[in-house]
Structure 1
Amino acid sequence: MHVLFYTKPGCSLCDEAEQMMELIKEDYPLTWTAVNIEENDAKHEQYVFMIPVVEKDNKVLCSGVISYVDLALLFESDV
């Protein structure tokens, strides 16, 4: 599964979420493209209070504090 990962520099929750994504990809086929919301006015306005955000097909799959379990559930629900 390939997702978009909305983040911004200096975001500790984003750093933690990316670490969880690195861990989950050892067990599940997860890839992502990181998108800095500070480089896109529309995404900044949309996600400024939600980051980090994992999105697929314009649907938010999870946001905020993202755990390994949150990510694993995405594969079990066949998102």
Structure 2
Amino acid sequence: MSNQLTLLTGSNCHLCDQAKAMLNPLVIEKDWELVEVSIHGNKDLEEGYAIRIPVVVFPDGSEKGWPFTAAQIRRQLKSKK
């Protein structure tokens, strides 16, 4: 399992900006990588996530949609070890 979190985002999404700002210190602390993926321009992602972003996708494919806290993400990462 890779040490990568994916953040599904969109343009002009202030919640996505908040999520990224919250996740950045966590991934630095855990020595993980945060990869942002814009749903715009991808029909499948737009259909599935347009009203759900921001969404964190964990390496095992599980997801956590907004709202979430750094503590919730940290707990979910621990449970996936």
TM range (shorter): 0.7 to 0.9
Q: Which residue of 1 aligns with 2:8?
A: 6
Aligned residues: 79
Structure 1, unaligned stretches of length 5 or more?
none
Q: Which residue of 2 aligns with 1:39?
A: 41
Structure 2, unaligned stretches of length 5 or more?
none
Root-mean-square deviation (CA), in Å? Answer: 1.8
Q: Which residue of 1 aligns with 2:67?
A: 65
Question: Aligned partners of 2:28 and 2:34: how far apart in 1?
Answer: 14
TM-score of the superposition, structure 2-length normalised?
A: 0.82
Q: Greater share of strand residues, 1 or 2?
A: 1
Report percent identity of matched pairs.
22
* Partner SS, residue 6 of structure 2: strand
**Per-residue deviation, 1:31:** 1.0
